[in-house]
Amino acid sequence: MRRPVAPAAGPASAGPRPRRHGWRGAACLAVAMVSGACATNPVTGESQFSLMSERQEIQVGGELDGEVRREMGFYDDAEIQQYVDRIGQRLAAGSHRPGLPWHFAVVDQPAVNAFALPGGYIYLTRGILPFLDSEAELAGVLGHEIGHVTARHSASAYSKATSSSVGLAVLGILVPESRPFQGLAETAFGVLYLKHSRDDELQADRLGVEYAARADWDPAGVAGMLTTLSRLGEADSGGRGVPGWLSTHPDPGDRVTTVQPIVEQARAGRPGAPFVENRPDFLRRLDGLVFGDDPKDGVVRGRDFLHAGLRFRLAFPEGWEITNAPSQVVAQQPGTSSVMLLQLVAQPSGRLETLAETSMANAGFRLVEGRLTEIGRLRAFLGTYRGRMQGVGDTIAEAAHVEYGRNVFLLAGLAGAQAYRQVQPEFAGAIESFRAMTAEEAARIRPNRIDFYVARPGDTWQAIAARAGEGIVKASTLAIMNHYPVNEQPRAGERIKIVVGG
């Protein structure tokens, strides 16, 4: 959970939504006269619907890059940033659009993802790096995202979104009817999470193979990273924070089969010098990489949520699934629609009881009863509210607005009216657990990091995960991170990636 940021202006409407068929020839010209323009796809040479010239692509990409910096932040490791940029620039130089002002960066998010903006802005999350096994696989991911830009997939997605006035937002797990508690504004930033079509993804895979091979990296890296992503989908081991690759890049398993002949063709076209894999150098750069949440944005330790940056802690109900997103923390009771939310109230002012009633009313919830009280020796307003949630209907919320320094925290439990009585004690216990943290306590919280270990006879992923500490990493995640199927144990004598607890 990060501090709230000032919302940016959303994309303006630019005309009616384009039809699904391709924009070619006279049809493209007719549509362009009404709602946009056509451009030549640099990869295919065909006409393509777009509201942007190349100059506008670069301008839009630069503006959205500012959103990424504010909302996600860049990972604070100059060596890794330079390493990724160097590989990306080399790949881009051999692409169909080498003249774009290419930018490559690692964003400070634990989700397993990579994404591209119009104009040549490419991002990896730090969360995807431990799941790659070589420099060739890193080149495969970057080449895939470069392909989205060179084939104008990113520009086309942005054009279609703005032309249809799509409300774009990074939504939390909970989507009430009036969209309460969403700390992120509906901005052009949300275009990052639009899914590309299957055809676009397959084309980007092919271009990733092509660009990697041109730059001398083993094109099998594309198939390798797709295999890992497929295993992640089967094990549901994605990271937290932003939508993962599996929500924005569909069907990695099917794509492995499709891309394999393309990889073999690229390899056959170069019978001379071998391709570069460069696994040792890549793995060396992973040593010490932050894994999972960063203490400055809050970390989950079992049922506890600890935030070193804002200096507070609380305990969510035992066994609930906790997700630490950029704008809020969400805990959900497994198998139910009962949830708890934690977030900062943006720009708090006025009397606390008025602020509480107004903020909940803006979220679509009416105050039933409430009182001023203290929670963890901090002044608070504790209230019961009624409203409606999408997919749930009549909903009861128990919500505390807690003053802490210059901030006001909202901690709310929400459940359907029929389930509320049963779950209310758990809401109350979590709310009452909110506590301030001293500077010394905050300083003792350390992030989990990637380390390396030589497997011994009899070692299992389950035992290695247990040594890291409760809730730090799943056994299946360790297996996938090391390119193993989840049902195979590590081989004795192999140097493997592990996670060490803070």
Tell which residue, 203, 189, 8, 214, has the closest CA to residue 92: 214
Q: Which of 18 and 45 is assigned the larger pLDDT?
A: 45
Q: Which of 164, 123, 162 is nearest to 145 (CA)?
A: 123
State mean pLDDT over 74-86.
Answer: 97
Least confident of 44-58, 68-82, 102-116, 197-211: 44-58
Per-residue pLDDT at 462: 96
Across-strand partners of 50? Answer: 37
CA distance 363 to 7: 17
pTM to 2 decimals?
Answer: 0.76
Q: What percent of the chain has pLDDT over 70?
A: 78
**Which pLDDT does position 390 carry in this prediction?**
79
Report pLDDT for 214: 95
Residue 387 in this model has a pLDDT that exceeds 80: yes
Run of H or E residues at 395: strand 393-404
What are the pLDDT digits (tens) for 347-366? 899 999 999 999 999 889 99
Domains, the chain, ordered by start: 32-290 (no CATH), 299-443 (3.40.1000.10), 448-500 (3.10.350)
Give the tens place of pLDDT for each residue, 280-315.
999 999 999 999 988 988 998 889 999 999 999 999
pLDDT of residue 154: 67
Do 119 and 59 meet the contact criterion of CB atoms below 8 Å apart?
A: yes
Distance of CA 448 to CAs 120, 217, 238, 483, Å?
32, 31, 16, 20
**What is the tens place of the pLDDT at every residue in 390-408?**
778 999 999 999 999 999 9
- pLDDT value at 39 more than 70: no
From residue 295, alpha-carbon distances to 71, 77, 274 in Å are 16, 16, 43
Beta bridge partners of 354: none
In sign, the C-alpha dihedral spanning 243, 249, 253, 259 is negative
**Maximal C-alpha separation, the chain:** 78
Written as one letter, the residue type at 29 is: L
What pLDDT shows up at residue 268?
87
Confidence tier at 160 by pLDDT (50, 70, 90): low
Query: How far from 237 is each of 7, 131, 222, 233, 460, CA to CA, in Å?
Result: 31, 11, 20, 7, 18
Contacting residues for 320 by C-beta, under 8 A, at least 6 apart = 303, 331, 332, 333, 334, 340
Check residue 12 and give its pLDDT. 32
Task: Band the pLDDT of 48: cuts 50, 70, 90.
Answer: low
Q: How far apart are CA 209 and CA 91, in angstroms?
A: 11
Strand partners, 341: 330, 412
Question: Mean pLDDT of all residues in the chain?
Answer: 82
Name the most confidently modeled range: 27-31, 170-174, 178-182: 178-182
Q: What is the pLDDT of residues 409-426, one digit of tens each?
A: 999 999 999 999 999 999
SS3 content of the chain, % helix, strand, coil (to 5): 40, 20, 40
For the chain, what is the radius of gyration of the CA atoms?
24
- Is residue 371 helix, strand or coil? strand
Q: Which residue has the tokens 């942007």?
A: 52
Residue 463: the pLDDT is 96
